[in-house]
Structure 1
Amino acid sequence: MAAVIPAVSRLSSRIIRILGCNPGPMTLQGTNTYLIGTGRNRILLDTGDKDIPEYQKHLSDVVSSEQVNIEHIVVTHWHHDHIGGVENIFGTIAKQPKIWKHLRDTSDSPDSDLPSTPLNWLSDGQEIKVEGATLKIHHTPGHTTDHVVLTLQEENILFSGDCILGEGTAVFEDLYTYMKSLNRILELNPSVIYPGHGNVVEDPMEKIQYYIAHRNQREEQILEALRNNADKQMNEMDLVKLIYKETPEHLWPAAAYNVNHHLTKLTKENKIKSISVDGESRWQIIPLHSNL
């Protein structure tokens, strides 16, 4: 059982964690938000869900007791449990902060996520500084297209958002880019990970390698099933029935969703091919001698 995360925790001289008070199956004990810096002006990383009075009170109490000002709000990605609290905080707990988020895509606009607050766009490699803290931005798409992780330069800490969690594995929109992001995080070689959900990860390299190995293992199972049925054109559920034999049948649709992400990635890598059969997508292994 995971250790209970307190509502407010001082993690270091530079970092205070404030729990979002929004527990659930996807958020675990809740969204971790972080107040970062040592001087009067601080950075708030993520803001939890919208309209959570308990979280707003905890954050307000910390700002008041520390006698600080939130100069920057940085949002790791657009999901409601990370960006939702911005409108509650802006102009109240944080008087006039600069709000930062990465673009989702080229057609992104501030109105799409924060219609009533000004928004600034993050860029890969950008640094945001306050007294005692320098946060470097790393664009790590996959969980979402706009997802970023941040490294605290002074302590070699990684704030991983939803790319890596304190417990369990993460979900993703695009496995191909997510795997690239995991390998990029591995290269950052952090000494500790402060995740968007769950407890602090004290063995970060082992955790990142586990995430990569877990996905690679599932991918190899899919490829093996397709190789063993090279004369067939298979859909997600065909593969689930072969690979997830120990999984209860009522969980097969969720497994099929997961398999689809792998199939999309393998198609991008030209390891398999997608075929439309009566309007349904099916997949088949590409022979090694093929030029496809």
Structure 2
Amino acid sequence: MRIHNLTFGSKDYSCNVYLVQGDWDTVSDVNTLIDVGTDVAIIPRIKARLSGIGKKKIDQVLLTHGDYDHVQILPDIKAVFNPVVYGSNQLMQVDKALENGQSIRIGDKIFKVVHPDIHGSDSLCFLCQEEAVIFTGDAPIHRCHEKGYYSDKFLNVLEMLTHNNIKEIYPGHGPPVLRDASKMIMDSFIKAKKTKKRSI
């Protein structure tokens, strides 16, 4: 699996837009954009990348949630690449709704859809248990603090992630976490649990 941040160095305010491709560009690989952001400069960057003989540059778009900085140029992406758009059933822009726990192929790997119950009811994360990789959108799975409020469902999601030995976190903003990811999630879970105890 290859992961490219297309908005790295962007001058526009945008979320991270990840292009995920298979290692060998095989017929079964699903070229995927995770979020689309606000910067149309990603379109020529997508066109310039190899995508496999006879394959579409973008097969599908997965939306982590509907904030403008994550979805603004979706009409442009659809006009140029005609992908299938997936996301929460609360988003009018999606062609197909995703359910919590559903499996979906991204690049050459199978991911699990995780509804984190934070940062809006339309938020989704995408977890590859085989590679121990997660795309989190704006869900703060690795940066909870002791002054926040976190629902029981979100705490359950965090606890589940502590058992997955996550190696890499790809957030909606900021750099990816490529070292000590599982420790950061555990620390985040411990802090979030403390807020729950104080509220009882």
TM range, smaller chain: 0.7 to 0.9
Distance 1:174 1:143, change over 3 A: farther
The separation in 1 between residues aligned to 2:96 and 2:185, in whole angstroms, is 30
Q: CA deviation at 1:85?
A: 2.2
The separation in 1 between residues aligned to 2:101 and 2:193, in whole angstroms, is 28
Distance 1:149 1:216, change over 3 A: same
**1:154-193 matched pairs, under 5 angstroms:** 154-164=130-140, 175-176=150-151, 177-193=153-169
The separation in 2 between residues aligned to 1:31 and 1:153, in whole angstroms, is 24
Larger relative contact order, structure 1 or 2 (CA cutoff 8 Å, min sep 6): 2
The separation in 2 between residues aligned to 1:48 and 1:90, in whole angstroms, is 13
Q: Which runs of no fewer than 5 residues in structure 1 stay unpaired?
A: 1-12, 25-29, 224-265, 272-292
The separation in 1 between residues aligned to 2:20 and 2:60, in whole angstroms, is 10
What is residue 85 of structure 2 aligned with on the other side? 99
CA contact (8 A) 2:149 2:192 kept: no
CA contact (8 A) 1:44 1:73 kept: yes
The separation in 1 between residues aligned to 2:16 and 2:86, in whole angstroms, is 17
Larger Rg: 1
1:3-40 CA distance string (max 9 Å, x none): xxxxxxxxxx522221173665xxxxx42221112226
What is residue 66 of structure 2 aligned with on the other side? 78
Q: Which runs of no fewer than 5 residues in structure 2 stay unpaired?
A: none
Determine which structure has the larger helix proportion and give its number: 1
CA contact (8 A) 1:37 1:133 kept: no
Q: CA deviation at 1:98?
A: 1.1
Instruction: Name the count of aligned residue pairs.
Output: 187
CA contact (8 A) 1:76 1:149 kept: yes
Distance 1:153 1:35, change over 3 A: farther
CA contact (8 A) 1:190 1:205 kept: yes
Distance 1:150 1:197, change over 3 A: same
What is residue 145 of structure 1 aligned with on the other side? 121
| RMSD value, Cα | 2.9
- What amino acid is aligned across from residue 180 of structure 2 in structure 1? D
Q: State whether structure 2 residue 2 is matched by structure 1 residue 18.
A: no
What is residue 96 of structure 2 aligned with on the other side? 120
Identity %: 21
What is residue 46 of structure 1 aligned with on the other side? 35
TM-score w.r.t. the length of structure 1 is 0.55
- What amino acid is aligned across from residue 91 of structure 1 in structure 2? A
CA contact (8 A) 2:64 2:125 kept: yes
Q: CA deviation at 1:59?
A: 3.2
From 90, 100, 118, the counterpart of 2:78 = 90
The separation in 2 between residues aligned to 1:153 and 1:184, in whole angstroms, is 11
1:42-77 CA distance string (max 9 Å, x none): 01111112xx23333333433xx4455211110111
What is residue 182 of structure 2 aligned with on the other side? 205
The separation in 2 between residues aligned to 1:150 and 1:109, in whole angstroms, is 17
The separation in 2 between residues aligned to 1:109 and 1:42, in whole angstroms, is 22
